[in-house]
Structure 1
Amino acid sequence: MTQTVSTGTRFDSGRPFPYVLMYHSVSVYARDPYLVTVDPQRFERQLSWLRRSGLRGVSMHELMLARQTGDDRGLVGLTFDDGYADFVLNALPALARHGFGATVFVIAGRMGGLNAWDPEGPRKRLMTPAQVREIADAGVEIGSHGVLHQRLSELDEDELVHEVADSRAVLAEVSGQDVRGFCYPYGDLDARAVAAVESVYDYGCAIWRSDLSGRHALPRTYVGDRDGSLRLVAKRLRHELIAR
């Protein structure tokens, strides 16, 4: 990984970075070594906290459009990496109850498969193409998480094009949407990867702030099952302090 942390990096046009939350799986669980799972009841409480705080969860596409017109006050991007099947059962109904939107970053070459990249498990089912189309038809934005969930900085040029560009074509056909955003697997990126994403997508989502941060490497705030109201307040304040 080639990122250098830089807390002073700002978004395009000199504006602070937008507030974007990063989720993965929403499911009841017994073990979670990678801390990617949020219990459905906790998730419901987190969405309720957003509403009480005057925030409305939206897709990245809606957030980016609102920023162009200066109408993004009170909006927070809700993103879900990997395209877990439990999104359909647990996350989608909760989002609908609150009137929130979201973006799900799907792995184009692993639809209907498992999270094989997590060696310690537990195994989680990924959405099938039919489920991806189902949530797209319900208004969820579909973004790309590559073809096989690989670290882009380790790929040669042909592999990089395949992961970035070919994944978009597959997901556009499956979802019926114009796939506008990309999310870097593992948060791994370098200048070459960001340039590849910029050539294909309207925006890109990273994890951490870095010298490459910008519209095509947007930092996000991780949300886990341990995040109750106090921790969510602290994370929001931290974002506001750093994003100024």
Structure 2
Amino acid sequence: MKDASVIPILMYHQIGQPSPRGTPYRGLTVHPASFRRQMAWMRRLGYRGLSMRDLMPYLQGQKQGRVFGITFDDGYVNVLANALPVLRELGFTSTNYFVAHRFGGTNEWDHANGVPSAPLMSREQARQWVAGGQEAGSHTLDHPNLPDLAPEAAFEQIHSSRQELQQALDAEVTAFCYPYGHETPALRDMVRRAGYTSATTTSGGLAGPADDLFGLPRVTVARSTHIVRFLQKCLTRLEDKKRHA
């Protein structure tokens, strides 16, 4: 079973009906019934789902308990529609990483790869998310590949997105997520300097005491992740063995 010192931070993207077979990244859309089943099982096993803000005392070793993190990348409308009711029903909190300049837009950064267009929350819908007891995090201004940018441009994406989201949503923003999971030691330092308290990647594994709070691994939950595999990922250290594979 899971060591008390390690914590699963789940990574979701969309919660909705999957695109047609053969569609690129189809697996990143988890069916609403699967999401509900996953959350219900964690609750049944005595675990509490938490946002990155609420998870911080556990990640820092100040608290211990049966907890796990819940994160969503990009701010899709279907997460508001299909995940928020489940989270509220179970008393869970979560973090949605919003792209500050794409409120009311689509996942245009995916279009070149053939990924179908999917609507992102408007500013008002993001406010509904926050009003529903959930956390808003930053996924930059425009979802660029940060390592490709000049340092000044990268810092602008990291710093200004926090400022703009706080103003737009009237909520403190302290959680950051690297687009595509691509990051470097210099980018981690920029995130620290911008005033965030945590940052997540797409590296697989459970978060433990040795992990940098600005380079936290996550557990990817895909459309095909059946419930037994889901529980294995969350409650054992299988994923840690793969982190640097």
* Coarse TM-score class (shorter-chain normalised): 0.7 to 0.9
Q: Does 1:29 align with 2:23?
A: no
TM-score by length of 1: 0.87
Kept in 2: contact 1:19–1:239 (CA 8 A): no
Question: Which position in structure 1 is the counterpart of 2:131?
Answer: 137
Query: Aligned residue for 1:230?
Result: 228
TM-score when normalising by structure 2? 0.87
**C-alpha contact (below 8 Å) 2:49/2:92 kept by paired residues:** yes
Q: Which has the higher contact order (CA 8 A, sep 6+)?
A: 1
User: 1:240, CA displacement in angstroms?
Assistant: 7.5
1:84 is aligned with what amino acid? Y
Q: Does 1:49 align with 2:31?
A: no
Q: Which residue of 1 aligns with 2:9?
A: 20
Partner in structure 1 of residue 79 of structure 2? 87
1:149 matched to 2:140? The reply is no
2:212 is matched with which residue? Answer: 214
Q: Report deviation, 1:74.
A: 0.6
8 Å Cα contact 2:204-2:239 kept in structure 1: no
Report what 1:195 is aligned to. Answer: 189
Query: Is contact 1:29-1:39 (8 Å) kept?
Result: yes
Residue 205 of structure 1 pairs with residue 200 of structure 2: yes
Tell me the equivalent position of 1:4. Answer: none
Q: Give ranges in structure 2 of 5+ residues lacking alignment.
A: none
Root-mean-square deviation (Å): 2.1
* 1:110 pairs with 2:102: yes
Q: What percent identity do the matched residue pairs reach?
A: 34
Deviation at 1:234, TM superposition (A): 2.0
Q: Distance in 2 between matches of 1:58 and 1:239?
A: 22
Query: For residues 114 and 241 of structure 1, do their structure 2 counterparts lie closer, same or farther at Cα, with a shift above 3 Å needed?
Result: closer
Deviations for 1:91-144, whole angstroms, at most 9, x for unmatched residues?
100111111110000000111101011121211000111111111111111000
What is the CA distance between 1:207 and its match in structure 2? 1.4
Q: CA deviation at 1:238?
A: 2.8
After TM superposition, the structure 1 = structure 2 runs for residues 171-186 of structure 1, keeping only pairs within 5 Å, are: 171-186=165-180
1:18 Cα offset (Å): 2.9
| CA displacement at 1:71 relative to structure 2 | 2.4
Instruction: Decide which moves more: 62-71 or 26-35.
Output: 62-71
Q: How many residues end up aligned between the 2 structures? A: 228
Alpha-carbon distance in 2 for matches of 1:203, 1:144: 11
- Which residue is equivalent to 1:3? none
CA distance in 2, matches of 1:41, 1:28: 10
**Maintained 8 Å contact 2:200/2:217:** yes
Q: Name the counterpart of 2:152.
A: 158
2:68 is the counterpart of 1:76: yes
Letter of the aligned partner of 1:224 in structure 2? A
CA distance in 2, matches of 1:26, 1:134: 17
Q: In 1, Cα distance between the equivalents of 2:65 and 2:153?
A: 39
Q: Distance in 1 between matches of 2:225 and 2:40?
A: 13
Residues in 1 aligned to 2:108 and 2:161: alpha-carbon distance in whole angstroms? 18
Secondary structure (helix, strand or coil) at the match of 1:230 reads helix
Task: Tell me if structure 2 keeps the 8 A contact 1:144–1:168.
Answer: yes
Q: Is the 8 A contact 2:10 2:69 kept in 1?
A: yes
What SS does the corresponding residue of 1:206 show, helix, strand or coil? strand
> After the TM superposition, which of the residue ranges 167-176 and 25-34 deviates more from structure 2?
25-34
Q: Is the 8 A contact 1:39 1:225 kept in 2?
A: yes
1:53 CA displacement: 2.2
Q: Which residue of 2 aligns with 1:9?
A: none
